[in-house]
Structure formats: C-alpha cells, structure tokens
Amino acid sequence: MGGGSSKSKARPSTAAVASPGTAAAKLGDVLKSAGVRKVILIRHANAQPRDPEAAAVEAGTVLKPDTPFANAWTVGDLTRKLTETGEGQAAAAAAAFLDSFALKAVICSEATRAIATQEIMTHSSEYFARGGAGHLTLHTLHPSRSGTPDCEKMFGALGYGTLNTYYADASVDGCEGRGKAIFREYMNKVTGELHALISAGMASFAASGDTVGVFGHAVFLNAVAVAVAEAMAIDGADEQVATIELGEAQGILCDADAKSISLSKA
C-alpha cells in the first residue's frame, strides 16, 4: 500500500462558485489524476437502534433552531453500533463483491456503524482504518451533517427508499414537488466536497488499485452516487441511480471505464 498522511480530520469546503457542470468535470479530472476508475458506494450494515435516553438528552442540548428537522438524525445517531446481524452482513458483502476490487482508499461517514462496516469489509486493514493513510472522512455523508435542511426534513418524514420516491413526493410540508431540486442541491454540494477531499488526500492513496470505497447512509449515499457517476460522464446517471433502493451492506458501483452503474450485493 502507498504511504502518506490521513486527511480524515479535514473538512472540505463547498464549491459554491463553480457551476454544477464545471464542478462535475473537476471531480472527474481529480478522480483520473488519482488513478480512480471505479467508486463503490456502500450503505452500512444493520445497526442497533438509538438509545431513547440519549435521544431525550439531545432534544434539549444538541438540536439547533436552524436545523429543526434533524431530530431523528442528531449526534447520538452517529454512535450506533452494528448488530451481530450487521457484522455478518458486512462479512458476507466483503466476500461477495468488495474483495474483488483493488482499493486505493476509502471515504467514510463519521458514524460508528459506517466505520465498523468498512473495517469488517476491508478486513481490519490498518491502512484503511480511521486515522490510517488510506482513510478519508466526509462528514456530510451522514444526514445530520449534510448541511441541507430540506433533505434532512424529507428523510425524517420518508425514511429509506429510492431517489424516485423523494422526487415524486408531495406529502412533506414545504417540499412538495421539489424533491429533485432539493437533492440536486446536496449532489452539487457533495461534488465540490469530494473534489476538495480527494485533491487533498490523493497523495496518501495506495500506489496500486483503481477503486475507492465510500461508506455511508441511504438515501444520501444514492445522491452521492449520482454526483460520482456524473463526474465520470456516465449517461443518464440520475435516472439510473434514482431507481435503486440500497439495502444494508449493499453497494452502488460507478465504473468510469465501462460507463456503467450497477448494484452490488451479497
């Protein structure tokens, strides 16, 4: 594996000036420069429910007036551990698909369950462990860190599902008919953040391999897949990803060479 320092503590800034098309092209260019031809975006495995007592404490101490819809996705959600079922799912997923890829690096949510899924699927590799040279943290992979309150609001109301479910929804107050535009805002934000994160961290990527694994949370991870696929100039990226319902320990593979998007699962 290659050497270098971890960039896991850095918070990439959002690209607010570049147009979406320009931002996608820049992300595509930095992926090429880093030797990344495949990105596989993996939802965490089955996790324990939130501690209701901790949730009650958060309600009085963590929630902020400007994030009124983050009630179900506050800081305490970050500490949920995998269940035994989840540990088995992650191990099965590694054997079924991730082991076949040559990883250069991983990008992970800061949530415990996402990190634990990644650790199992990368066989407790020190290189890919949090703090290791091959581990990057993208805070906005987690709903409570997304910086997009309307996305959080819709997620709190609708839960897991396809992007098409969100695009078609007319039930969430204030978001009726705007689901596609709301999640496009998040996609554009993540495009800029991935560009900054990979640009800063690519010197630490393994010299061999062609794949980056991204570990996070549906339906936000689906939106990130759209951003990555568009950066790879894959035709119809939004339409293809929008039909995928990402299950626990399943992945969306974006392949720049094959110009394809596919679901990976055990």
- DSSP H or E run through 222: helix 220-231
Is 15 among the domain residues?
no
The CA distances from residue 3 to 124, 128, 256, in Å, are 17, 11, 25
257: left (phi over 0), alpha (psi -120 to 50) or beta: alpha
Sheet with strand 103-108: strands edge to edge: 135-137, 103-108, 211-216, 38-43, 251-255, 260-264
Residue 50 token pair: 């939130």
> pTM for the whole thing?
0.87
Task: Quick: pLDDT tens for 204-232.
Answer: 999 999 999 999 999 999 999 999 999 99
Is 2 among the domain residues?
no
Return the closest-CA partner of residue 78 out of 109, 122, 53, 57.
Answer: 109
Is 110 among the domain residues?
yes
Number of domains composing the chain: 1
Please state the three-class secondary structure of 164-191 as a single string.
Answer: HHHHHCCCCCCCCCCHHHHHHHHHHHHH
Is 57 among the domain residues?
yes
Backbone angles phi, psi at 224, to 5 degrees: -65, -35
- The CATH number that applies at residue 72 is 3.40.50.1240
Three-class DSSP category at 41: strand
Strands (E) in 6-156, as ranges, are 38-43, 103-108, 135-137
Rounded Cα–Cα distance for residues 29 and 179 (Å): 29
Is 8 among the domain residues?
no
Task: Quick: pLDDT tens for 131-157.
Answer: 999 999 999 999 888 989 899 889 988
Rounded Cα–Cα distance for residues 116 and 146 (Å): 20
Rounded Cα–Cα distance for residues 36 and 232 (Å): 10
Task: Quick: pLDDT tens for 15-70.
Answer: 444 566 899 999 999 999 999 999 999 999 999 987 666 665 655 555 555 544 44
Is 76 among the domain residues?
yes
> For residue 163, what are the domain limits?
20-264
